Chain A
Amino acid sequence: MEEIAKQIRRDIVKQVYHAKSGHPGGSLSIADILAVLYFKEMNVDVNNPKKEDRDRLVLSKGHCAPALYATLALKGFFKEEELDSFRKVDGILQGHPDMKKIPGVDMTTGSLGQGLSAANGMAIAGKLDNKDYRVYAILGDGEIEEGQIWEAAMTATKYKLDNLCVIVDNNNLQIDGTIEDVINPYPIDEKFKSFGFNVININGNNLEEIEKSLEEAKKCKGMPTAIIAKTIKGKGVSFMENKVEWHGKAPNEEEYKLAIKELGGQEDE
């Protein structure tokens, strides 16, 4: 699993480097979460990406598409070479996730704050159809400043969506600074608790803790779960870690090579 997470990280850096744009920081922070979800937890079928009974994932922080694309490619939803055309005019990998163009993407996202509502819709549909699939929604800690997140949180509780699991990527940084400085959504766990969620705090860059929390979430009945995952923005690349300037910037050639090396890859990758 560790190697999978590293490969996802290398592919994140690679995509952003080749595209000369994109969002490496928040992508690197969720690499471990996506690795566990797609390679351990989620029931998905690469040969039938739209399978009705599949578990679903909404990457509500859609700008971290490179992390999702790297994971989906590694899982086998599309060829790894496709990653080279991220953000390019002749490729399928749009700047933000597009469910109509990209196999394995369950919901189109990009405009922040909308994904939890969409995940609610999927979870409600699952309840209506008596299906036991689970729905995961990954939110940014800056993203929860959007009011719609809290509209959605109330809906998730009202309809007792225990088939829904929210994961907040708490990397503590957003474009204009630390989340405390910009508008301060803390305490995140208490907020979700007060909205009626089962809340689990974890280190979101620890594979074991991620796995354990997802198992725990499954056992909780009658209410949705929110996993508050404390992460490091830019995790795995020393010069990107906890640096807000790497929110949405591509590395130059030298930085790229260094990053790949730090992530255990070959220099010519």
Chain B
Amino acid sequence: MNNDDKKATRQSYGEALADIGEDERVVVLDADLSTATKTSIFAKKYPNHFFDVGIAEQNLMSVSAGLATCGKIPFASTFAVFAAGRAYDQIRNSICYPNLNVKICATHAGVTVGEDGATHQMLEDLSLMRTLPNMTVMCTSDDTQTKWAIKKIKEINGPVYLRLCRLATPKIYNEENFEIGKGVQIGEGTDATIIATGVTVPEAIKAMEELKEKGVNVRVIDMHTIKPIDKEIIIKSAKETKKIITVEDHNIIGGLGSAVCEVLSENYPTQVVRMGINDRFGISGKAEELLKYFEIDKDSIIKKILEN
């Protein structure tokens, strides 16, 4: 992990979009947030394939659905709270039910949005999107993985929800060696498994490295795909390690932690410790401060592993 090479996944998204724009089927839609979601990078390069529908997220989703019926591959972007929240019914009825090929790339998820506070910190999107039939749900952790994901989701047919973040995070990977629905195991420790997604992956890796110095050997699983969830890697880790801890910048209800519990309770009953936002709304503050405040940072993970 390279702490000197930081980038927010929203930035990687914008750059990756500009790279796939040569495919004429790709169209990008935004709802007046293109400079924040970074779709502006695509818009500059391919202005005729970029559509800003204004502050109208419901329309954003249904227009994307209409484009998809005609063979286009729409990438629809806005903040996560306005995508999964405000336009839930459009995503449900106009995109997922007819199984249309729309890629919803939602930025500014989680408390790491920071200063904007609770109204803009989406903590329920993984839960809402995971429950929709036909939907693939992803949350990438670094620049390399995000760029891979954009290329990959363009190739698969069907709706995808990709959760992206505002906070700049370190580069974890050098190679695009990923597969949808397959978690990435980092480290071989058997004392505990930390399952993380998105911005909590670097926190988990930092915790792993520090714990090693204390003689505690853990492994990290970067769960970039929340649905379909990688059952195999979860069950394997439960069998091989003493504890399972999930960490997410999302409500502990319905997201990564819940998905892991569902797998284990049905296949290999194991006690799971869920770290995340504990069924409450966020607050304003700096992203790094909020990771600590909500106890999903490196130190909180270490503390939790040592006390359990």
A positions within 8 Å CB-CB of B: 52, 56, 58, 98-100, 106-111, 113-115, 117-126, 128-129, 147-148, 151-152, 154-155, 158-159
Report Cα–Cα, A121/B98, bound state, in Å: 15
A-B contact pairs, 26 of them (CB 8 A): A98-B98, A107-B66, A108-B93, A108-B97, A111-B93, A113-B58, A114-B62, A114-B94, A115-B62, A121-B65, A121-B69, A125-B66, A125-B69, A125-B72, A148-B56, A148-B59, A151-B53, A151-B54, A151-B56, A151-B59, A152-B56, A152-B62, A155-B54, A155-B59, A158-B54, A159-B51
Q: Which of B36-82 contact A (CB under 8 A)?
A: 48-49, 51, 53-54, 56, 58-59, 61-72, 74
Q: Does B288 contact A (CB under 8 A)?
A: no
Report Cα–Cα, A124/B93, bound state, in Å: 21
Q: Does B99 contact A (CB under 8 A)?
A: yes
Q: Does B27 contact A (CB under 8 A)?
A: yes
Contact check, A118 vs B63: say whether CB atoms are below 8 A apart: yes
The interface residues of chain B lying within 8 Å CB-to-CB of A152 are 56, 59, 62-63
Contact check, B49 vs A121: say whether CB atoms are below 8 A apart: no
B62, closest chain A residue (CB) = A117
Known: A114-B89, A118-B63, A124-B51. 4 other contacts (CB 8 A): A109-B93, A118-B65, A151-B53, A154-B56
The interface residues of chain A lying within 8 Å CB-to-CB of B197 are none
Contact check, A122 vs B58: say whether CB atoms are below 8 A apart: no
The interface residues of chain A lying within 8 Å CB-to-CB of B70 are 52, 121-122, 125-126, 129
The interface residues of chain A lying within 8 Å CB-to-CB of B98 are 98-100, 107-108
Q: Does B127 contact A (CB under 8 A)?
A: no
Contact check, A120 vs B66: say whether CB atoms are below 8 A apart: yes
The interface residues of chain A lying within 8 Å CB-to-CB of B90 are 111, 114, 117, 148
Given contacts A117-B62, A118-B63, A121-B67, contact A108 B94 (CB under 8 A): yes
The interface residues of chain A lying within 8 Å CB-to-CB of B67 are 121-122, 124-125
Contact check, B89 vs A111: say whether CB atoms are below 8 A apart: yes
Report Cα–Cα, A120/B74, bound state, in Å: 13
Report Cα–Cα, A129/B92, bound state, in Å: 27
B positions within 8 Å CB-CB of A: 27, 48-49, 51, 53-54, 56, 58-59, 61-72, 74, 89-90, 92-94, 97-99
Contact of A110 among B51, B72, B93 (CB under 8 A): B93
B74, closest chain A residue (CB) = A121
Contact check, B69 vs A114: say whether CB atoms are below 8 A apart: no
The interface residues of chain B lying within 8 Å CB-to-CB of A154 are 54, 56
B183 to A: closest C-beta gap in Å: 31
Contact check, B69 vs A128: say whether CB atoms are below 8 A apart: no
The interface residues of chain A lying within 8 Å CB-to-CB of B97 are 98, 108
B278 to A: closest C-beta gap in Å: 33
A152 to B: closest C-beta gap in Å: 5
Report Cα–Cα, A108/B66, bound state, in Å: 10
A62 to B: closest C-beta gap in Å: 9
Contact of B66 among A52, A113, A119, A128 (CB under 8 A): A119
Q: Which of B48, B51, B69, B97 counts the most A-chain CB atoms under 10 A from its CB?
A: B69
A110, closest chain B residue (CB) = B93
Report Cα–Cα, A114/B65, bound state, in Å: 10
A208 to B: closest C-beta gap in Å: 31
The interface residues of chain A lying within 8 Å CB-to-CB of B94 are 107-108, 111, 114, 117-118
Given contacts A100-B98, A108-B98, A151-B56, contact A121 B63 (CB under 8 A): yes
Contact check, A122 vs B66: say whether CB atoms are below 8 A apart: yes
The interface residues of chain B lying within 8 Å CB-to-CB of A129 are 70
Report Cα–Cα, A128/B93, bound state, in Å: 25
The interface residues of chain B lying within 8 Å CB-to-CB of A126 are 70
The interface residues of chain A lying within 8 Å CB-to-CB of B56 are 148, 151-152, 154-155
Report Cα–Cα, A118/B61, bound state, in Å: 9
The interface residues of chain B lying within 8 Å CB-to-CB of A148 are 56, 58-59, 62, 90
Closest 7 pairs (CB-CB, A-B): A121-B66, A117-B62, A125-B70, A151-B56, A151-B59, A118-B66, A121-B67
The interface residues of chain B lying within 8 Å CB-to-CB of A58 are 66
B117 to A: closest C-beta gap in Å: 25
Report Cα–Cα, A113/B56, bound state, in Å: 13
Q: Which of B56, B62, B97, B99 counts the most A-chain CB atoms under 10 A from its CB?
A: B62
Report Cα–Cα, A114/B56, bound state, in Å: 12
A204 to B: closest C-beta gap in Å: 24
Report Cα–Cα, A118/B63, bound state, in Å: 5
